[in-house]
Structure 1
Amino acid sequence: MTARQRLMLLALGATLTTSGAAAEDAVAVAEGRALVEANCSRCHAIDRTGDSPHPQAPPFRTLSRQYPVSALQEALAEGIMTGHPDMPEFTADPVQIAAIIAYLESIQIP
């Protein structure tokens, strides 16, 4: 095998690995969106545009303005509970948490 052929195989392998990772990321983002749509969209704007149905509920696309989105991992693992009756209790497993964080990170605007 020539040096050029080895280089082409390495490039192909890197492309396939990157494509696989991108596909996994896309799946996680889609799963995260489905979870926040099912559990959060009643009050929060969950897309890059639009108003939150509940006036005091922050749009998810702006969460990173207040704190790192990854900081929500612990709250999601322990179960998000608040003192107001509009917000349902929600607990997620580690795979769901990763998907939710991936989705939230994908929609953040500065």
Structure 2
Amino acid sequence: MNRICLALLMIGAWSEAGHALDREQRHGKALLETECARCHAVGKTGRSPLNEAPPFRTFGDKLYDTDFEQRLQDGLTTIHPGMPTFRFSRDDAEAVVNYLKAIQSRKKPK
């Protein structure tokens, strides 16, 4: 029995390490937690505090637009009246995008 528990703990630790965020991604996550978490879910799981605010892990292909990172630097705006405009430095925008790419939900094959 102890061997089984130890094996399960080792597998869990290995899989967790495989999903660890690098320093830049942790910085991006911290920025989003500070600026966006009051409305959006910014992690790999969880619901957004506001129902209308999509979880960031569902952004998918939007993150791969050639201009998304630039829009974060120029001032991300939206037609949603309650969302403020955010402006990130180049390094911060890169960190945010890299973090968001790391947490995207994987679609299950049909």
Q: Would you say same fold, with TM above 0.5?
A: yes
* Separation in 2, partners of 1:29, 1:70: 16
Percentage identity across aligned positions? 38
Structure 1 equivalent of residue 73 of structure 2: 77
Structure that is richer in helix per residue: 1
Larger Rg: 1
Q: 1:27 — aligned with what?
A: 23
Correspondence 1:46-57 to 2 at 5 A = 46-57=42-53
- Superposition deviation, residue 83 in structure 1: 2.8
Cα displacement string for residues 10-49 of structure 1 (whole angstroms, at most 9, x for unaligned residues): xxxxxxxxxxxxxxx7110010001111111111100111
| Corresponding residue number in structure 2 for 1:106 | 102
Whole-Å Cα distance in 2 between the matches of residues 93 and 74 of structure 1? Answer: 10
Instruction: Work out the CA distance in 2 between the residues paired with 1:91 and 1:108.
Output: 22
Moved over 3 A (4+): none
Gaps of 5+ in 1: 1-24
Q: Does 1:61 align with 2:57?
A: yes
Supply the AA of the counterpart residue of 1:54.
L
Check if 1:45 corresponds to 2:30. no
Structure 1 residue 101 displacement after superposition = 0.7
User: What residue identity is the alignment partner of 1:69?
Assistant: L
Q: Following TM superposition, by how much is the alpha carbon of 1:70 offset from its aligned partner in structure 2, in angstroms? A: 3.3
TM-score of the two chains, using structure 2 as the length reference: 0.70
